[in-house]
Structure 1
Amino acid sequence: MHKEFAQSLNVVILVKTNFKTNTHSHVILFSSHLDLKADKIIDYYKLRFQIEFNFRDAKDFMNLSQTAVTNAANLAFFMVNLSHHLLADFRKHNPNSGIIDLKAYYRGFRYVHEILKMLPQQPDPILLAQIFAKLTSLGRIHAVYTDFDLS
C-alpha cells in the first residue's frame, strides 16, 4: 500500500532482457483484484490493449448512426476472432509469437508478392524461400533465426 493511495494492489513486475546488449527494462502491472495470479493479470492487460485498439479503430470510421457504429464494433470483434484463429495456426511453427509477429509476417508476405509481380521472371525456389523468410521476419518481436543471411 502506498501512503497516498490507500488501497491494496496486486503488482506484477516483468523484467525484459535484451540478450544482445544485456540491458534490462521493467514493466509494472497493477490490479485491485488481490486474488488474481500473475499470469491472469498479464493476460488481462493484453486484452485491455486489444479492446482499446478495437474502440480506436471503430472510432476511426467516424460513424454517427447506430447501425454504422454497430457494424464497426462487430467488424473489430470479428477481426480479433480472425486474428486469434490465424495466430493459433501461426504458433504451430512460431510458438512464442504474438499478434505483432503475425501482422509483420503477413505484411512481409504481401510485400514479397507485390515485388514478385514486378519481376520479369521468378527467382529460383531456394532464393525465393530465403526472401520470404527474411522479409516476413522484419518487424517481428520474436525474431526468426535462419541459416542464411541476405544482407
Structure 2
Amino acid sequence: MPNILALLECLQRHTTRTTLRRWSRIIPAILAMSGRITMLGISRWCGKGGSYRTIQRFFASSLPWAVLFWVFFKEHIFCSKETYILAGDEVVVSKAGEKSYGIDRFFSSLYEKPILGLSFFTLSLVSVEKRKAFPISVEQIIKPKEDKVKKVAEKPKSSKNELNTETIKKKGGRPKGSRTKDKKEVNLTPDFLRIRCMVQDLLKKISKFLPLTYLVLDGYFGNNKAVVMARQLGLHLIC
C-alpha cells in the first residue's frame, strides 16, 4: 500500500497537520475493512494512534470537503489528454435508529421500495477514456419538515343514488382557449434548485482549469425542467 500521508501532502494548505495524521490511520483501516463501516470498527482496525475517541473527534470536525476533493483530483488524477464529463446521481444508505441527522424514508433502487436511511447526492467527474468516475462533491439530502395536517371533517356518506350517477369525464386534448407557454420559463422544484446550486459552486472552482460541456443525470431528470436547469448552467444535458 502506498504511503497515504505522502498522497495527502497536497491538502496541507486547506487543513491541519493533525487532520492529515488522522487520515493516514483512518484511510488504510477503511480500505482493509469489509462489510458495514462504523466508527467503532474503524478504531479497531486503526491500531496505535487511532482510538475510538480520536475517530469521534475527526468525524465531529468540519472540513471543506468540496475543496479537498478538487485539490486531490487536480494533483493526482487529472490528465490533460483525457475528456471529462460531469455526472450526478443520488445514493441511499440504509440505516436504523432515530438519532442520525437527516434520517428518513428514501426510495432505494436496490430494494425497489422506500427504506429507512440516509440519502446523498453526488457529483462526479467521469473520464471518458478510462470509464471511471471520481466523486468531486457530495451533499446530504434533507427532506423538509411537513406542516401539521389539519383535521378534516368527515364527509357525509353518499347515498345509493349518488353512487349510481355517472361521473363527468373530461374531454381529451388541449383545453379550449389555452395559449402556448414558453418552455424556457419554468419553476424549478427544490430538488432542481439544490442540484443547480451544487453544480454552480463546483463550476466556480474548476471552470478556469477544467471547462465542462456535458451534465449526465438519470432518467428521473429526463424532462424540460432539467434541460432548462442545465442550459442555465451553460451545460448540455445527457439523460
- TM-score w.r.t. the length of structure 2 is 0.20
- TM-score w.r.t. the length of structure 1 is 0.27
More helix by proportion, 1 or 2? Answer: 1
